Chains A and B, each alone.
Chain A
Amino acid sequence: MSKYYLFQDTKKCIGCHTCEVACKANKNLPVGPKLCEIVTVGPVFVGNQPKAAYTFMPCFHCEDPWCVAACPTGAMQKRETDGIVFVDPLLCVGCKTCLSACPWGAPQWNPETGKAVKCDYCMDRLDQGKQPACVTVCTTHCLQFGPAETPPKIRRERYAKAMASLEETI
């Protein structure tokens, strides 16, 4: 489990795929691998109103990652300082075991290098004090990134606003 939390404000997300494209551009990836992806479910009518879910799927950076355990060469690793799960391309032999091991399909295949590639929260950018690529350019700023112990409060605030009665105090 990394010490970070990548929050998607699904209410604000418009499913535009900017995150996917920026991720690929930043990592200079060819057509094929998507280290993060917006998966759209719907739209379907709920009563008269069409509704859809636009779900952001990066790597979860698990506490006990299946991919790390499965990797036979030690290429797939968990960074000690902050728990980011990443793959070292110099050690990866392209066996694809990590692709099979991950229950959520996070590790991807790079056909140009013949190696596994995955979301590492852009740790090179983090180390320079920047945010992950997807978060930086997200069209609606619906992606937010930070220490897991201080998650965005937007959902609580929205609920409080919806429930607030300013005329009477219970």
Chain B
Amino acid sequence: MEKEVYSLCFMCSVRCPIKVTVENDQVKWIEGNPHVPGIEGSLCPKGAAGTALLYDHDRVQSPMIRTGARGSGQWRKASWEEALTMVGDKLRNIIDNHGGHSVALGERTQLATHVSKTFMKAIGSPNHFTHDALCKGSVNTAARSLFGYTDAQIGIDYKNTKHIVLYGRNIFEAIEVKGVNALTDAMENGAKVTCIDPRVTVTATKSSRYWMIRPGTDLALNYALIHVILRDRLYDAAFVDRWVTGLQELQDFVQPHTPQWAEGETGISAIEIENLAREVAKDSPSVIFHFGYRGASHTDEIYMRRSIFILNVLMGSIEAKGGLFFKKGPGEIGGKAARKLTEQTFPKIDLPRFDKVGTPDFPLPDPNHGVAQMLPYAILEEDPYPLKALINFRFEPIMSIPDSNLTKKALDKLDLIVTIDINYSDIAWYSDVILPESTYLERTDCIQQMNGLKPQMFLRRQSVTPRYDTRPGAMILKQIGEKLGIGEYFPYETMEELVAWQLEGTGFDMEDFQSKGFVAYGDKQILWDRKDGIPFKTPSGKIELESTLLKDAGYRSFPPYASVISPPDDQFRLVTGRCAVHTHVSTQNNPYLNEITPENTLWINAEKAGKMGINNGDWVKVSSSCGSGKIKAFVTPLIHPEMVFMLHGFGHESKGATRSFSKGLNDASLMENVSDMIGGSPAFHNTFVTVKPD
């Protein structure tokens, strides 16, 4: 018997809508949901490798309890009852002796995040944090400083754009299927793509203008662009006059930042910079300066991201066709969003978070996500208090937080590490107990609230029964909760019951998702009136170039630009990034994806490599202040001489992942754990490394 199930992919965090063909409880075929515009059957390579994950013998097949030293790989299988009881007992003991706040839970934001937040609130811990800050904490803070909205509340109208400017945003390799198709449609209609990246990517080969910028100097380039736009009055005066405060301060600030000045900093000619400013102004407001997917490269990241948003503001591309727009929720048209378990009443928590977000020490990062890279410091320094237990839910601290050695040192200090994961990730391998999660094809999940120009809800629906002894994460947390005596916060026995509870009062039920996989609150696009109807959430109700948020926290909106230092002759700036076939640190062991890209290499400029006697394919030793390792060199003219590059997510130490074990080098093992202490992102590209022939 063949049936079709509409669901949501989860090979990466984008969650594209899919249609799964199932026969006799086996997944036969996966394709993009044909009913969703911009998808229409499409997948990305990760999405196409979903069945390879489902049937992979390398998955964690049952609860596992560690029997040897941490990381030794000595395990024994356990029943769910035994594993849950053990985790419950140990957590109870830690909470009784050290308080609920001594427990931290990290996760990659996902559909069941409200469940894990509920779990933490119920045990009295403020220490729920997500992977978000590691990816884009400073982009979030930058957006709030200008608009009062987070970056996640801002959408991009690729389809109608006339010119898009990408700062290292490798849009055709770090793929979001809908966005890719909307942009290729726009390009077919003549849209220009300016790609600014110190390394030639697939995106660069598809662009209409490519600039190999000196690494780390995008901010200088933007100040010069702003300089030209203001000097020549190329901005959208009607929009700016109506909505912007602080234009004079901006004008004064960028006055010395001429294109000639920027040429010396960036390596991009002053004439080219002038040309781009004039070119985008002609296409205003259907212009996008892309604010980034990952925005976590430098210690002044927030100012770089602010400068991108400001360029959009000057083009008037806010809430404009072919520009940026604010995502609309169901409330806009009288609808009701799905319920979340966090709407319940919880015991009050008075203590600060482990990362001190929201305190005068670290006032601006988003407390909904926290700042994950502070975790090693908080554990090691017991500041603001000792942490004793860490629960990782789809979160991988060892390879995601810079300085893996430091992170492991911190992990060693914990009394309990529990990981909920599908695979033997490095953190699963380093844990005391692994509670295996069912894949997206084996579980129903919480409602996806899709805000946008048309508010919608999507549902991930179980396609097949679990292949192994695994459970949905939201059920695992509930069951740990029951062991801890907080079961009343989880009023469901199955995922279907939880979804039904979430849908109460929305006017929809699970049946409504049956025919297309989603429901829509209305059929018209909602754009606010650009003259009078944009409800900016800043204190002034306007776009604040001179930001109240920053000022109140004691920071300047336009601090002096600090020149980016070039590495000494024998060193390079380490830069990391993505390819199309892998997701972060989670897919390197997938049989089909591993087959295409089994390891990373070190991209190094051909001229520099020649002088150092390094040939293509040679093994080289890469060292930084906090780690070193060996990797094969990829000698190429396609990279700026000041930097070397490696793909993120390789160099796994988990022997449970047999294909990816010890393949390539882990970038996080070389990176120093330093951050943009205003915005909240780590500065992944702040580290200099030496490279030597091995």
Interface residues of A (CB under 8 A from B): 12, 14-18, 20-22, 24-26, 30-32, 42-43, 45, 48-52, 133, 136-141
Contact = CB atoms under 8 A, between A and B. Distances in A.
The 6 closest A-B pairs by CB, nearest first: A21-B48, A16-B580, A22-B48, A14-B172, A52-B205, A137-B43
Contacts of A26: 29
Given A17-B596, A139-B177, A140-B42, 19 more contacts: A12-B188, A15-B580, A16-B581, A17-B45, A17-B580, A18-B47, A25-B29, A25-B52, A49-B209, A50-B200, A50-B210, A50-B638, A51-B205, A136-B41, A137-B30, A137-B41, A137-B42, A140-B180, A141-B41
Contacts of B172: 14, 16
Contact of A141 (B40, B48, B581): B40
B218 interface: no
B429 interface: no
A82 B51 CA distance: 31
A137 B31 contact: yes
Nearest to A142: B184
A25 B592 contact: yes
Contact of B45 (A21, A42, A51, A133): A21
A137 B32 contact: yes
A43 B32 CA distance: 30
A21 B49 contact: yes
B627 interface: no
A140 B206 CA distance: 13
Nearest to B596: A17
Nearest to B190: A161
B595 interface: yes
Interface residues of B, number: 42
B637 A31 contact: no
Contact of B48 (A18, A43, A45, A49): A18
A69 to B, nearest CB: 31
A14 B41 contact: no
B593 interface: yes
Nearest to B51: A25
B115 interface: no
B205 A21 contact: no
Contact of A25 (B49, B184, B594): B49
Contact of A14 (B49, B52, B180): B180
B351 interface: no
A55 to B, nearest CB: 13
Contacts of B177: 139
Contacts of B52: 21, 25
Nearest to A23: B48
A140 B181 contact: yes
B200 A14 contact: no
A48 B267 CA distance: 14
A91 B78 CA distance: 47
B44 interface: yes
14 contacts: A12-B188, A14-B172, A14-B175, A21-B52, A21-B581, A25-B29, A25-B51, A26-B29, A31-B595, A52-B205, A133-B29, A137-B32, A139-B42, A139-B175
Nearest to A21: B48
Interface string B12-52: 00000000000000000111100000001111110111111
Contacts of A51: 205
B48 A25 contact: yes
A162 to B, nearest CB: 10
Contacts of B41: 136-137, 141
A18 B205 contact: no
A110 to B, nearest CB: 14
Nearest to A37: B596
A20 B595 CA distance: 11
B152 interface: no
Contact of A31 (B204, B205, B581, B591): B591
